[in-house]
Chains A and B, each alone.
Chain A
Amino acid sequence: MTTLAEAPSANKPDYKARARSDRTTIYLLLLPALLPIVVLSVIPLMRGIYLGFTDARAGRNVDTNFTGVENYRELMNDDLFWSAFRIGLVWAFAVTILQFVLAFGLALLLSQPLKFRGFARVMALVPWAMPPVIVGIMWRLVYHPDAGLLNEVLYRGGAEGLQHNWLGDFSTALPAVIMVGVWSGMPQTTIVLLAGLSGVPRELHEAAAVDGATAWQRFRSVTVPSLMPVIVAITSLDFIWNFNSFGLVYVLTAGGPGGRTMLPMLFAYEEAFRYGNYGYAAALGNVMVVIIVALLAVYLRRRLREANA
């Protein structure tokens, strides 16, 4: 059943007894961690998936019935769902792509022998060190129509006409929250890319330089290909995290104005905990999992094909 990686005293006669007692010990050691994970993570998730096929509602004495695909039929006809879904896709793609481009640039800079590099590396971590709720509060201060930094900078720069109620305007709310999303997720992406960059073999660069390749050519034909696995991994993870993100936008706009920043998770939260439609909210969660898996499958397959081509 269990395979032991090591046999500490393989040539001793009591090896078998020792191995058996080892196995018991292993299970005793693992049990306290596995039990809570099963009870409070595996089982709830299974139940959550199942709830998506029921009419479960809030309240202690409400019957829950299996309704099959009824929730999904309802979702298809729900304009609010489609709107949240569209906004969620725009948000997730925009944040992931911008995050990647900006983080890649920063990682490349940080891998250069520049002065102040140590300081810059610490600064690059700042957004990560801040709780999402605080990031939201902080950016509200930046975007504040009267006391905010952004409008004041525009005024001083003579671009008064560009002043906005950034989070309150229909047209600027989504771009404004996307900017915050990019800001708050940059450190993770930067650090992973930086770690990847340090693994690119120096000799490859030098060989290419000797052959007369320009910096841009080296970047395209040496750096990017050897980073590809890292790039695929971090952009996939970023996309999942962004698509499922909640706290930041909840604090920034709570989905407003007029639902312009209503991400799928905010929509699901409202359905579940404002209106008590547990089954419906869980169904939405299921749809999101399916979409994420489908998008990732397409993405990973294309990358795989490119890698083999």
Chain B
Amino acid sequence: MKASRTARAFQYVALLVYMVFLGFPLVWMLSTSFKPPREMVEIHPTLIPHNPTLDNYVEAFTEQELGRAALNSLQVSLASAVLTVLIALPAAYALARFKTKLGTAALGWVLLSQLFPFVLLVIPLFLILRQVDLVNTHAGLILVYVVWALPFALWMLQGFVRNIPRELEEAAAVDGATRLQVLRRVVAPLLAPGVVATSLFAFISAWNEFFFALVLLKSPDLATLPVTLARFVGVEGIARLGPLAAGSLMATIPSLIFFAFLQRRLTSGSLAGAVKG
């Protein structure tokens, strides 16, 4: 079907409006991050800074609190990603290759748990972690993140397992390999891309997470990047907006990499769905 010329023109205009709407806040933050403090207090701010500067980035980078928070975030997110994949890998294999009631129950739980607001989860989690002295520790937060990322990681990984031809495994089994050997020697190497995608997902969900980190970590020394940035918002003067914008942009880089990596899959629809926004 061919759209008429006017219809086509209208479509391009609409698309342009969408792109401006989706893109302009980011462009504005980018512009703010290059402005020296003097330009922040101008009555009429401009899109293109008069005297662009990298000072904000330098300041955000060397700011002690932000640097420490970035390190904390890195540590927590890396540990969560590694643990999530280590735990999810065997289970995803079992879910993909065998139909068990346990597996169905686990997936049902994943869907059901979407209904519950975080308060219902975070208060008891807080109490449980306090009993084992894990409140206000990175270990406690990592545990929570692993459990939080597990359901989707399981779902993602089992999809990758399904794509590995069963015949390969059966051939190895006929040659006398045990199940665990099959898993290690045949399945694991073929799963590498899936493992990368899943660990990136777990890394990003930990890197971006705010609520649990806010509740479970009390000392500023331990706070992760989103919590520290949110705290800056509360006390910022107008001159501090520049470093805040710069720090925020740098904190977005890991997720941008993740989405660039998955972009094709996402827009083709094969991964759409269960990622919680």
Chain A residues with a Cβ under 8 A of chain B:
1-6, 8-9, 21-22, 25-30, 32-34, 36-37, 40-45, 47-49, 51-52, 56, 60, 102, 105-106, 109, 112, 114-116, 120-142, 144, 146-149, 152, 155, 183-188, 191-192, 194-195, 198, 205-206, 209, 215, 237, 240-241, 243-244, 246-247, 250-251, 254, 264-265, 268-269, 272-273, 278, 281-282, 284-286, 288-289, 292-293
Contacts and interface: CB of A to CB of B under 8 A. Distances in A.
A142 B113 CA distance: 35
Given A183-B21, A247-B211, A32 B277 contact: no
B176 interface: no
Given A33-B88, A282-B120, A42 B109 contact: yes
Contacts of B21: 183
A121 B267 contact: yes
Contact of A131 (B146, B207, B238): B207
Interface stretch (B23-31, B50-58, B60-68, B193-201): B23-31
B23 A129 contact: no
Given A37-B147, A246-B211, A284 B119 contact: yes
Interface of B: 1, 3, 7-8, 11-12, 14-15, 18-19, 21-26, 28-29, 32, 40-45, 47, 86-88, 90-91, 93-95, 97-103, 106, 109, 113-125, 127-128, 130, 143-144, 146-147, 150-151, 154, 166, 170, 173, 179-180, 207-208, 210-211, 215, 226-227, 229-230, 233-234, 238, 241, 244-245, 248, 251-252, 255-256, 258-259, 263, 266-270, 272-273, 275-277
A244 B118 contact: yes
B120 A41 contact: no
A45 B269 contact: no
- Interface of A, secondary structure class, is helix
A129 B87 contact: no
Contacts of B234: 254
Nearest to A192: B272
Contacts of B268: 195
A8 B267 contact: no
B109 A128 contact: no
Contacts of A127: 22
A133 B267 contact: no
A264 B256 CA distance: 31
A288 B128 contact: no
A43 to B, nearest CB: 8
A57 to B, nearest CB: 11
